[in-house]
Every structure is written in C-alpha cells, then in structure tokens.
C-alpha cells in the first residue's frame, strides 16, 4: 500500500506538471488585461474577437490547413502501402527497411529540419509550402504506419482468401473487402497526421518561405507583449481542436480493432 501511495502521488504530480500550463491558456485568454499575471482582472472575449480582424493570421491558418490536408493524405497513402507490405509479405531485409522508415519517430526534429534544409538548398529549391509538406510527410508517415500496422494485423486473412475463391482479383479484393475493414484505422491515421502537421513548429520554421504556418506565425507574435493575450486565445482554440481530433482518431482506432476482432494493446488516449 505504501508503494501504491508513492505511485499515486507521482502520477498526480506528473499530470499537474504536464497539464497545468495548458489550463493557464484559457484562463489568460479570457482575462481582461494585456499583462499575463495574477491576479486576474476580469472576464472578456475581446481577444477572440480580435482574431477575426488579423489578416496575416487568416493567411497562416489557410497555409496550415492546406499543408495539413495534403500531408495527411500523402502520409496515409504511403502508410497503407508500407503497413500492407509489412503485415502480409516477407521480403529480404524487411525488419531493417521498416525500421529505417520508422526512424523519424526517434530522431530529434531539429536534426531532421536542418538536414532537409541543407539538402533543399544544395538542390537549389525554393522554400515553399511544398517543402514544409515534404518535411511533414517524413515525420507523419511513421505514425500512420504504426496505426495501420495494427489495423492490417488484426484483419482476418480468411476473408481475403474467400474473395479470391469467389473470383475476385487482388485489386478488387483490396478495394471491396480489405479497405472497408481497415477504414477506421485509415480515418484515425488521417486525423493523427493532420493534427501533427497542424501543430508542428520546428520543421515548418526551417522550411517555410514567405508563407508561414500557424505555429510559425504564433512564434513571431511572441515578440510583441501587446499580442500575448491574442496568442493565448488562439492557443486555446488550437488545444481544443487538437483534443477533439485526437479523441475522434482514438475512437476510430478502437472501433477498427473491435470490428476486426483484435485486442486493444494501447492507444493515444
């Protein structure tokens, strides 16, 4: 019991340390003062209203949405191919190849960002939204593979074999049988990669050109003390949106596992 008490205290302390700064965002976002300090002055929605009047912010939001949508589609497409190959086929150096693809999960993002920047500059390419998309696809694809590996791994192979016996081709079987069964995992991977791309800062900071993403725009505003409350308001919206997207993604992930009759070994929430 004594050990359990220490573990409980550690868990509570860890959660407070992790989430207390996030809880401060809405607190100061609704505070009627430009100075981020206690005591709070009063309640206001002024900072959220100002968000609708900043043209540069609107451009950054559009850029981030554009990058996130394309990144999620490309990452999931690559993830489907890799997960399908990893779970169904055996080929030489399979583990080494999959491990190499998953390497961005453990590499520091700043190393990835600097390396990509050097390569792009050596190739003479301009920094645009597409260079950011390239970087985001690199880091989002391993997450998609991790999710889709579970979806394809829990798939009952006898269903595909039955389709082959009934005269379906490999492509029609994949399109009519396999794809619908793993669709919850695909939706989950799409939402996860969309969220990662939307919130990612380091790679976007190094690879963005004259069209900054939303996190890069937020960082630029931190130099102006009068803009801090507006940044807090925008941060509150981003936190809520991220939590909603991750919750929906986890729902579809668990739904896919239940649908395939597999066992849930853990998830994002």
pLDDT 10s digits, 160-191: 778 777 777 778 888 888 888 888 888 889 98
- The domain that holds 188 is classified in CATH as 1.10.3720.10
For residue 125, how many C-alpha atoms fall within 13 Å in the half-sphere facing its CB? Answer: 15
For residue 9, being part of any structural domain is answered with no
95-146 per-position pLDDT tens digit: 888 888 888 888 888 998 999 999 998 988 888 899 999 999 999 999 999 8
Sorting pLDDT into bands at 50, 70 and 90, what band is 63?
very high
Q: How far is CA 6 from CA 79, 225, 231, in A?
A: 41, 41, 38
Sorting pLDDT into bands at 50, 70 and 90, what band is 260?
low
**Mean pLDDT, rounded, for 257-268:** 57
65-74, 198-207, 244-253: the lowest-pLDDT one: 244-253
Helix (H, G, I), strand (E, B) or coil at 31: strand
Nearest to 57 by CA among 47, 43, 70, 69: 47
Q: How far is CA 258 from CA 5, 151, 159, 175, in A?
A: 34, 10, 16, 21
Mean pLDDT score of the chain: 83
For residue 151, being part of any structural domain is answered with yes
Amino acid 267: pLDDT? 54
For residue 35, being part of any structural domain is answered with no
Cis geometry, peptide bond prior to residue 138 (ω within 30 degrees of 0): no
For residue 24, being part of any structural domain is answered with no
For residue 97, being part of any structural domain is answered with yes
Between residues 222 and 259, the one the model is more confident about:
222
pTM of the model: 0.78
For residue 49, being part of any structural domain is answered with no
12-31 per-position pLDDT tens digit: 888 888 778 778 788 878 87
For residue 255, being part of any structural domain is answered with yes
Domain count, the chain: 1
């Amino acid at each position: 019991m004594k050990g359990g008490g220490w573990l409980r205290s550690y868990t509570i302390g860890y959660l407070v340390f992790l989430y207390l700064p996030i809880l401060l965002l809405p607190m100061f976002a609704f505070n009627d003062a430009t100075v981020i300090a206690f005591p709070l002055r009063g309640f206001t929605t002024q900072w959220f209203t100002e968000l609708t009047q900043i043209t540069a912010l609107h451009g950054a939001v559009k850029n981030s949405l554009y990058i996130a949508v394309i990144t999620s589609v490309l990452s999931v497409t690559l993830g489907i191919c890799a997960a399908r190959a990893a779970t169904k086929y055996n080929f030489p150096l399979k583990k080494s190849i999959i491990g190499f693809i998953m390497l961005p999960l453990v590499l520091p993002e700043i190393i990835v960002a600097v390396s990509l920047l050097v390569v792009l500059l050596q190739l003479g390419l301009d920094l645009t939204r597409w260079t950011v998309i390239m970087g985001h696809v690199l880091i989002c694809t391993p997450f998609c593979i991790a999710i889709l590996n579970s979806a394809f791994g829990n798939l009952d192979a006898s269903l595909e074999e039955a389709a082959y016996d009934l005269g379906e081709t490999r492509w029609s079987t994949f399109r009519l049988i396999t794809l619908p069964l793993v669709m919850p995992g695909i939706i989950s991977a799409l939402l996860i990669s969309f969220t990662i791309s939307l919130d990612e800062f380091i790679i976007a900071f190094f690879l963005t050109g004259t069209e900054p993403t939303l996190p890069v725009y937020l960082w630029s505003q931190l130099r102006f003390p009068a803009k801090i409350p507006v940044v807090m308001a925008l941060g509150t919206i981003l936190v809520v949106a991220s939590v909603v997207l991750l919750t929906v993604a986890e729902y579809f992930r668990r739904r896919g596992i239940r649908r395939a009759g597999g066992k849930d070994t853990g998830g994002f929430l």
